[in-house]
Every structure is written in C-alpha cells, then in structure tokens.
Amino acid sequence: MTQELTPTETTGEAATTFASLDPRNGNVLAEYPIATTADVADAVERARTAARWWDAQGFRGRRDWLLEFKKAIAVDADSLASVVSAETGKPHGDAFLEVMLAIEHLDWAAKNAKKVLKARKVPSGLASFNQAATLEYKALGVVGVIGPWNYPVYTPMGSISYALAAGNAIVFKPSELTPGVGKWLETKWNSIAPTQPVFQVITGLGETGAALARSGVDKIAFTGSGPTARKVMAVCAETLTPLVAECGGKDAMIVAGDADLDKAVQFAAFGAFGNAGQTCAGVERIYVVESVYQQFLDKFVAAVKRAVPGGTDDSTYGPMTLPRQIDVVRSHVEDALAKGGTAVVGGPESVKERYVEPVILTDVPETSSAVCEETFGPTVVVNKVRDLDEAVERANGTSYGLGASIFTKSKSRGRAIAERLNNGMVSVNSVLGFAGIPSLPFGGIGESGFGRIHGADGLREFSRPKAVTVEKFKAPLNLMSLERSERDMKISAAMLKYMHGR
C-alpha cells in the first residue's frame, strides 16, 4: 500500500524532505530525505560493488554475517517494535510479534540457503549419458525492495532476508509512512558491517520508488496494491527488470458444520480485526454452513464487541495507518448496506476520523464491493451458505487469490477443501498459519500478484539457475555434426522407436 504525501514545504526550491507522522494523533515523528534519481543511482552503484564482495563470502560466510545481523536485531527488538508502533499506530505487542516473525525468517534463510541453492548433479538421460550435468543457482546481483506500511518489518524482510541469503545486495525503499523502520534496519546492518553497503535504505515518495524500479537493479520485490503494482510493472518493463509482486487479497474463511466454533471465532476475530484489518492475508469474508451459522454469528458478535480500538498498548488494535483508506472502508460498508446487507455490529457511524470501530456485515450480496474488493480495514462479511461446495464456489468468486482458512474437525476434509481453493496458501483450523512457517512459500495468484517469498521458493526467487554440462567421454554416436553418418542416424532412429515408440 502506498500513500501520496505532501513534501515538506521549502521556499523557492523543490522539497527535499518529507515528514513521518504518528497516525494516532498526526504528530510529526521525524523528517526524512527524498532520494532523487541521482541518489538512487548512486545507491545502486554502491550496491553493485558490495554485491561482488557479498557473493564472494560464499554460503558459509553469508550465513555467519546474517546470523550476526539477526542477533543485532533480536537483542534490540523492543526498540524496533517501538518504531513500528509509532509509525503504524499498532499496539507495541503486535509490533513486537511482527519483529519476532521477521527474525524467524531471517534465521531460516541464513541457515538453509546452501542446502537449497548449492550446485548439484542432475541426471543426464540415456541420450546424453556421456555428459555430466550440473545445476547451480547464482545470485542476481542487486535487488530493489519496495516495502509496505502495514507490516513494515515482517513483509519486506521476507524479501530482504531471502535475497541476502541468496547472495544479493539490497537497496530498500520503505513505505513513506514507515521510513524510520527502514532506517533502523539499515543502522543495525551498519553496526556489524559498516564498510560494506550490502543493505542500503533510500527514503522518499512514489517518485523514489519509480526511480528504483528503472535504476537497472536485477529484480524488484514489491508489496502493495494491484493498481500500484501495475505502475511498477510498467516501469520495470522499460528495462526488462523482473518483478515479484504481492498485491493483497480478499481472503475467505470457511466454517464447516463440524467445526470447533469457539476456536473458529477466536481466529476469525484475530484475522479480521488484528492490525485494524490492515493485513493482506487477513480474513475479509467468512462463509458459514447454515447448520451452525447462527451459533457462529452469535459467538462472533459477542467476541468482537469486546474489541476496543485506540492509541494505547492496551488497545485491541490501533488507527488506520493510511488516512485515505478510511474512505474505502466507509464506502464498502455503505455499499453493502445499500445492496441489502445488515450490520450486526457497528455500521457507517463506526468510521471515525482516525479509527474505525469493528463492523460485522451479514447477508451481503456477492456483487457488493465489501465482498469483491479489498477493504483493508476492521470490517468483515459473514454470509450463510448451504454447504461446503457453495462455500468453495463463493470463496473462489473474486479476482484475488492470496490465502484462505478452513475450520473443520475432519483434517481430510480440510485438506480436500484446501485443494479446491484457487489461491497460494491455505490454513486448516487456524488463520495465517502459513505466515509463521519459514519453509513455506508466501504469495498469491490473480489480483494478489505473482512470485514467491519465503521458503526454498523464496531463495530461488532471488537467484538464477545456471546449467552446466561437461563431456565425460566421446559420444558413441556423432550427431552434433554437419556430416552425420547414415549409420549413426539409423541407430538413432531405432533407439527413438525403442525408447519412446512402444
């Protein structure tokens, strides 16, 4: 997600700085420089030099450096969580949990890169049995990361950690809403490797991100909205720079008739209202089988009514970090009600200047924007379905395909339903279970983007495969020649029929 901010006013000159604001009260937290195109180019050039040093460290050397980086973050995690809390408005405990998850991923990437990416022999096949075949993965060089504001540590570190472990240098442009988080991470890196700009942070607005996308980096990792991703893709296309994009979701939760309703309610409340609903893979739609619909709804309403948004660490969740998202939330609630939906908790009056109180909508038509479009706020639609088949059909009914969750006491049924959902990730009997497992890839399909971070796929995402063959001995049949013999061709034809024509 991005925001268009007004740069700090200057007299007679273009603005050179912008302000980071506390979304709880609008107070200025700090001023940060707006990196120009030249600044970005300089950072990328420094990164190119650093990337050669970093690649030369090898898997073991990079592992040791990254574990030192992990340690530096972990021992000062409370400080980082405070920066996250100030810039996003989320309670300190939520911010600390985000830092914990990011550290787990950094640890896994550092410790598993060699196993995933090291050179290995692969079968040559009978037709090329005189060749020794090897597959290896090489670092791309410099990776540009454009980060979001909703999880300003966890999400970008999902690209940064895996790209670093794969041997790349990083130029990171944090969201203009959370620049302090990026600078904190850069300072920590510099505390262990002050002379090696392997990890650099540039701050600025949308123009700075565009400059990074067209700077000639070897890949861009972007997290944000679909419309912004399209703009980034268009810029990347100018230089054929590859892109991995995570673009949000409209994730569905399915509740079967045999589900543990108390457990489902607990996770539904967390998935829908945690972080003020500002979670790409959070719960925005809930489909409940009619036999337990009213029971689930009654329990869910009671749980959500206990949620209290606010600006303290004791609050259930904080403010809307992105001010203009408040208008989106309001419009989705109003559209759902205008099309026949019912608000059983809250309503349009729940949308305040900085905070949105919990809203639960029921009987909302599937054509409503509250069902079809990403709301990214503390609202959720709970709709009744006849059975699990209808639940799957509705869950697959949007253009998004990031994550989903299923609640049922039958693990086999849960797995079977998961197979039928058109998305990148599914949790059975939990919400966001996949997000905390470093070995699992994270990403979606359709409007939710493409490419993967985390896990072995995340390491390969920031590498390029290289195939090498070495002739072990002369081929019995001389086919790679402009003067192939009739004998060799007859033998080849017979072999083809024997091997593949039967």
Sheet holding 463-471, edge to edge: 120-122, 131-139, 463-471
Alpha-carbon distance of 424 to 443, in angstroms, equals 6
Concerning whether 246 is annotated as a catalytic residue, the answer is yes
Give the distance from CA 14 to its chain's centroid: 34
Separation between Cα atoms, residue 379 and residue 357, nearest integer Å:
8
Q: Say which of 176, 246, 357, 373 is annotated catalytic.
A: 246
Give the CA count within 13 Å in the CB-facing half-sphere of 93: 8
Does residue 318 contact residue 24 with C-beta atoms inside 8 Å? yes
Q: How many CA within 13 A on the CB side of residue 265?
A: 18
Distance, in Å, from the CA atom of 285 to the CA atom of 406, rounded to the nearest integer, reads 12
Decide if 236 is catalytic. Answer: no
Q: Helix, strand or coil for residue 170?
A: strand
Handedness of CA 160, 161, 165, 166 (dihedral sign): negative
What order of strands is seen across the sheet that includes strand 199-201?
Answer: 199-201, 169-173, 142-146, 219-223, 243-246, 449-450
Residues 6+ apart with CB under 8 A from 257: 289, 291, 292
Count helices and strands (H / E) in the chain: 16, 20
Length of the chain: 502
Of 176, 280, 447, 461, catalytic:
280
Q: Are the CB atoms for 363 and 342 separated by under 8 Å?
A: yes
The closest of 322, 378, 273, 311 to 85, measured between CA atoms, is 311
Q: Distance between CA 305 and CA 311 in Å, rounded?
A: 18
| Residue 145, SS3 per DSSP | strand
> What single letter denotes the amino acid at residue 488?
D
What residues are labeled active site?
A: 246, 280
